[in-house]
Amino acid sequence: MKYFSVERRDRVEVWTYRNPPMNYFIGPGAMELQELIGRAEADTELRGIIITGGIEGKFITHYSVDELAAMAADPAECARVFPEMETGFHRMLDRIMLMPKPVIAAINGDCMGGGYELSLACDFRLAADGPYQIGLPEAVLGILPGGGGTQRLPRLIGRGRALEVMLFGNVYAPREAERMGMVNRVLAPETLMSFALGWARTLAQRPPRSIAAIKRAVYLGADLPLAEGLYIERAEMRDVMCTDEFSAGRRCPGNQGKVTAMTGADRPYVRLAAPGATWERDQPSENNFFEGSTVEFCQVVTQVRNIADTKLRVRDETATSWMASRNASPIRRKIRHRRAPASVRGDGGSGKVTAP
């Protein structure tokens, strides 16, 4: 590969992008990234990915403006080619977002436009402290963040702050970006990669089906109405709950003995203890989450899920019946079919509106 280099460290890969001198993202680089994504999706031994920049002071500065300008030089050709190109770029970032393994952007320099949009498709954005810029300045150039920025940034930091970033075309120093919520952590430059690798290796120890299911539930469900998001969560829970991987979670690499779920820094809440695979708390009490075998726990979860499904089905049927009766009421029909006076409609009573 010309633009990306790959370094394998245990079950984690580091993808480094180099396009000197400015490290602009370009079409051939995007094609290489798509190839890497395909390999990673098929590699069951790979458990984590880190994307970083290979030029000092540059993560991915932004997508090449020269490449975009060359495409826009012929409006007819641009109208024909650009929609397909943008769709392909969106699909590539969607594949990163839904990659069934964690993806970390280790931002080690300028990260704007398409470079920041790439980082938005990652699960985490870790940034080195330093004199460089992070943001979406496309409005200054007369375009918009067309690589997913208008959709992903509001979901990350909220609509108001995202509009502030994008309408003004703002860029921020790393610490300012952290305060805005645009990056997860800002770290000393010399510790960035070791910290990112530490996160990736920790996540690599988690059962991979659990990681993939959580990502799908969050990314596909969080922006839907609550009932629909909960439906996705139930579907994912059903797929991972009663599986051999869950039952034998203690045998996952790095998880020998007891698998501990943490709340806070390092305080166990519920643990799956071997042998016998029984659920217990560190502090036994009358309010224990569950005590019994994993099989019994699966049966309880199935019963709870069935009860929840029944309640949702009854609620949906009730809502449908209510809407049908509402639309069928004589008053509703009268309101729905009443026409405004001709003076308001502006059609002179003909039913047709003419242009002034």
- Residues tagged active-site: 117, 138
The pair phi, psi for residue 18, each rounded to 5°, is -135, 120
CA distances (Å), 48 to each of 12, 45, 122, 133, 276, in order?
A: 5, 9, 11, 26, 30
Handedness of CA 266, 268, 272, 274 (dihedral sign): positive
Tell me how far apart the alpha carbons of residues 152 and 123 are, in angstroms, rounded to a whole number. 12
Q: Which SS3 state, helix, strand or coil, does residue 1 take? A: coil
* Buried/exposed 173-203: b ≥16 CB within 10 Å, e otherwise: bbebbbebebbbebbeeeebbebbbebbbeb
For 218, other C-beta atoms within 10 Å of its C-beta total 16
284 CB neighbour count, 10 Å cutoff: 9
Contacts of 143 (CB under 8 A, 6+ apart): 68
Q: Supply φ then ψ for residue 307, to 5 degrees.
A: -65, -45
The position carrying tokens 């969560």 is 233
CB within 8 Å of 182: residues ≥ 6 apart: 116, 125, 134, 135, 153, 156, 157, 165, 172
Instruction: Give burial (CB, 10 Å; 0-12/13-18/19+) of 128.
Output: buried
If residue 311 lies in a helix (H) or strand (E), which one and from where to where? helix 294-328
Q: DSSP code of 276? A: T
